[in-house]
Amino acid sequence: MVRSLIYSLTFHSALIFLTILSLPFMLREPINLPPIVSVELIQISDKTSIPYAPKARKIIEEAKKKEKERLVSEQAPPAAKAKEKPDRIPLPNEKKEEKQIVKKKQNPEEIKPQIRQASEFEKKEIIDTNQIAALIDKAKEEEAVKQKKSDKITQSSQKNKFATGLTLSQEDALKAQIFGCWSVPLGLPYDENLLVRIKLKLKKDGTIMKSEILDHQRMNKPDQRFYKVLAESALRAVRLCQPLKVPPTGYDKWKELQLNFNPTEMLKG
Amino acid sequence: MKKILLILIFKIILISKASALIEIDITRGNLDPLPIAISPLHVDIKSENFEGIKIKELGEEISKLIENNFRSTGLFNPLKKEAFVQKPDIAHLKPRFEDWRLIKAQALVTGKILVKNGKLKVEFRLWDLAAAKEMTALAFTTTPSNWRRVSHIISDKIYERLTGEEGYFDTRIIYVSESGPKNQRIKKLAIMDQDGANTKYLTLGNELVLTPRFNPTNQMVTYMSYFRNMPRVYLLDIETGTQEVVGNFPGMTFAPRFSPDGKKIVMSFAKEGNSDIYTMDLDSRVVERITDHSSIDTSPSFSPDGKFIAFNSDRSGLQQIYVMRSDGSGVKRITFGNGIYGTPVWSPRGDLIAFTKMRKGRFYIGVMRTDGTGERLLTENYYQEAPSWSPNGRVLVFYRETKSGSKGEGFSAKLWSIDITGYNERRLKTETDASDPSWSSLLSK
């Protein structure tokens, strides 16, 4: 009797514990996470990327100034490209992450990042870590302020963080690549809720084995012409992007990917 | 017992892992116009000559016209023909997709023409180069002299397939053609194709004409003209050239516009110094008073469902835009910004109202939602007004005047168009100076 009770108790508590771990709605409201900024993969030089930090800050400040100016005038927003710029600037902390990935690629024996950071080579390059850390923090703060303005982004990125098995920088690399390939159909109405979900099956080299639109039946309805146009543009983007810049390891994690194409933010300008 | 438990726990862990498909949100992309290759149309060797038309060059001409249409939208980037890698006849049968992709094209248009027995047959195909498949293919037969219209219709079909919305190339614009010095302007009604070709003058210019407006359902126009110094509202059938006066009112009538079904005209009508809004049924000629207010109410415009009317009124002091039900009830002010608002025009899509705004001596053309929120000013200038919508609600055409000297020198009035995003401002080519444009619906509808 007592034994079975103990079994029952352990089993149930184990179940509850697992549920808490794996069910999304059990998550507490996440603490202020650092924002996710999309990054284009850039070849990183042999030296560390840290000297770029002050420059990045300057550009962010400039972009902010520009934004302020734009708010003053009542004209329709000019050149959407300029807006994209600040987001694309790699922040130093992310660059570090990227660098780690690149390093892994270059010498596969070197697996543990801790070991790598302790190497003599690194020590030589980094002179005043405190100062650098301060700079990084400042840049982070500025980005955080920006982030607050658009809750939407925060939400989606939080969702991603929970769901994906990719690191943020890996995800950002993929995003940046697809951003570049996707010609957004500019004629779409911006007040309609258009979202195209595409499921991809990938080969190890990042080429696409199969692409599938998840709401396929919506494609051929006569009143869903805009959806069709958007879906086609998304498929074009994926095809043009081949091979995708996938992480060198963890094929099982990303052999199937779901891409959610949502132009609403862009079309609103 | 323990084993079973362990297996259970393992399974639960596995399930929770397997369900986590990686999702990535793509919220940004490339805003550059879509690169499109428009191959010259292949001319069938069996083609016969047709009076006055150089058949051999027709394939090239049609592709050029389609290219110009697309370039004018700002949504497409037609690629230079020098870079094309395949001959038109072969490309039309089966393009080598990888070669076209090399020049960074994402879509390809090919076609073939044949002139036989006095008939022109044009067929075209639109290819999705990334997917390596045909998106649409159609053929048209007409008289050879009609090749411009066929090209516009083809442009519309391609535009529709690539953007999901109706095209606006097979349309015409009516406007007031102006010539002569500023204090002695000769004003004639003129009509042209949307791309500026085929200009025709509809009146002689001995009387002043103002505010021509298309009937949204067919090719009828209503406009104002002065007859013995009294403004009158006229109806004009463009196909037959017949015109008639709409009613004979004792006061002055202004700014007539059709209802969306084309059966009524809404206008403002001044009586004893006070202007109100009236409608008139074109069949029964019954006039109905819509507003009754001591202020000046002008520039009425119907919503596309015919349920509402937007208009100007100075009842709150400065001239602002108001919306009411089409029977005159439920009047609601929708603009509250600084400055004077005028010429509201309801978009054919029904989601926006275009307007002219004057503030601190500058003129703006803008759009806002029908409840007055989301005001966006698209363009600013010294003097500009009278926006008119393209039939798909994507582009506005309006006119702009330049500042002139004390004797009227340096004065000009031109037609301009702008996308509702505020991009792609362009001047429309007209033979003379021009004002007060109105865009027709699709001719082939």
Q: Return the CATH number at B139.
A: 3.40.50.10070
Domain membership flag for residue B155: yes
Q: Do A160 and B25 count as a contact with CB atoms less than 8 A apart?
A: yes
Task: Select, from the ranges A124-138, A241-255, B78-92, B296-310, the one with the highest average predicted confidence (pLDDT).
Answer: B296-310
> By CA distance, what is B15's nearest residue in A?
A22
Q: What is the pLDDT of residue B326?
A: 92
Do B136 and B177 have their domain in common? Answer: no
Instruction: Give the mean model confidence (pLDDT) for residues B190-201.
Output: 92
Helix (H, G, I), strand (E, B), or coil: what is residue A202? strand
Is the CB of B394 inside 8 Å of chain A's CB atoms?
yes
List pLDDT tens digits, range B203-256: 888 888 889 999 988 788 999 888 777 778 889 888 888 888 886 666 677 788
Domain membership flag for residue B18: no
Is the CB of B4 inside 8 Å of chain A's CB atoms?
no
Do B137 and B275 have their domain in common? Answer: no
What is the separation, in whole angstroms, between the first and last Cα of chain B? 76
Domain membership flag for residue B20: no
Domain membership flag for residue B237: yes
Q: Which of B129, B144, B163 is the last residue of a domain?
A: B163
Q: Where are the alpha helices (DSSP H) in chain A?
A: 2-22, 53-72, 80-88, 92-106, 113-117, 120-125, 129-149, 151-163, 168-181, 225-241, 251-254, 264-268
pLDDT band at B416, cuts 50/70/90? Answer: very high
Do B263 and B403 have their domain in common? Answer: yes
List pLDDT tens digits, range A215-249: 888 887 777 888 888 888 898 888 888 888 888 88
Is the CB of B36 inside 8 Å of chain A's CB atoms?
no
Domain membership flag for residue B24: no
Q: What is the pLDDT of residue A104?
A: 42
Q: Do A185 and B421 count as a contact with CB atoms less than 8 A apart?
A: no
Question: Amino acid letter at A37?
Answer: V
Q: What is the pLDDT of residue B445?
A: 66
Q: Do A187 and B394 count as a contact with CB atoms less than 8 A apart?
A: yes
Which residue pairs, CB below 8 angstroms and at least 24 apart, start in B307-315?
B308/B346, B308/B370, B309/B266, B309/B277, B310/B334, B310/B344, B310/B345, B310/B346, B310/B353, B310/B370, B311/B268, B311/B277, B311/B344, B312/B341, B312/B342, B312/B343, B312/B344
Q: Do B28 and A260 count as a contact with CB atoms less than 8 A apart?
A: no
- Distance, C-alpha B263 to centroid of its chain: 22
DSSP-assigned letter for residue A75 = B
Do B308 and B417 have their domain in common? Answer: yes
Q: In the β-sheet with B340-346, what is the strand arrangement from edge to edge? A: B340-346, B352-359, B362-369, B376-381
Helix (H, G, I), strand (E, B), or coil: what is residue B419? strand
pLDDT band at A68, cuts 50/70/90? Answer: low
Is the CB of B23 inside 8 Å of chain A's CB atoms?
yes
Tell me which residues of chain B, numbers 58 to 77, contact chain A at a CB-CB cutoff of 8 Å: 74-75
Q: What is the value of pTM for the model shown? A: 0.72
Q: Which residue has the higher pLDDT, B125 or A80?
A: B125
Do B252 and B339 have their domain in common? Answer: yes
Q: What is the pLDDT of residue A38?
A: 45
> How far away is chain B from the Cα of A122, in angstroms, using its nearest Cα?
33
Domain membership flag for residue B7: no
ipTM above 0.90, yes or no: no
List pLDDT tens digits, range B98-145: 899 888 899 999 999 998 888 899 999 999 998 888 999 999 998 888
Domain membership flag for residue B377: yes
CB-CB neighbours of B255 under 10 Å: 24
The CATH number of the domain holding residue B405 is 2.120.10.30
Question: Amino acid letter at A216?
Answer: H
Cβ contact B188:B209 at 8 Å: yes
Q: Which of B163, B197, B214 is the last residue of a domain?
A: B163
pLDDT band at B444, cuts 50/70/90? Answer: confident
Q: What is the pLDDT of residue A80?
A: 43
Q: What is the DSSP string of B270-319?
A: EETTEEEEEEEETTT--EEE----SS-EEEEEE-TTSSEEEEEE-TTSS-
Mean pLDDT of chain B: 88
Longest alpha-carbon distance in chain B: 107
Do B342 and B210 have their domain in common? Answer: yes
Instruction: Give the mean model confidence (pLDDT) for residues A7-17.
Output: 91
Do B429 and B344 have their domain in common? Answer: yes
Helix (H, G, I), strand (E, B), or coil: what is residue A25? helix
Do B142 and B224 have their domain in common? Answer: no
Is the CB of B390 inside 8 Å of chain A's CB atoms?
no
In the predicted model, is pLDDT for residue A81 greater than 50? no
pLDDT band at B277, cuts 50/70/90? Answer: very high
Domain containing B123: what range? 34-163
Do B48 and B182 have their domain in common? Answer: no
Structural domains of chain B, count: 2
Do B188 and B289 have their domain in common? Answer: yes
Q: Which residues of B touch A9 (CB under 8 A)?
A: none
Mean pLDDT of chain A: 65
Instruction: Give the mean model confidence (pLDDT) for residues B347-376.
Output: 92
Q: Which of B117, B139, B163 is the last residue of a domain?
A: B163
List pLDDT tens digits, range B336-359: 988 999 999 999 988 899 999 999
Do B122 and B209 have their domain in common? Answer: no
> How far away is chain B from the Cα of A141, in angstroms, using its nearest Cα?
23
In the predicted model, is pLDDT for residue B361 greater than 80? yes
C-alpha pair distances (Å), B29 with each of A221, B82, B98, B160, B282: 26, 28, 23, 21, 50
Domain membership flag for residue B1: no
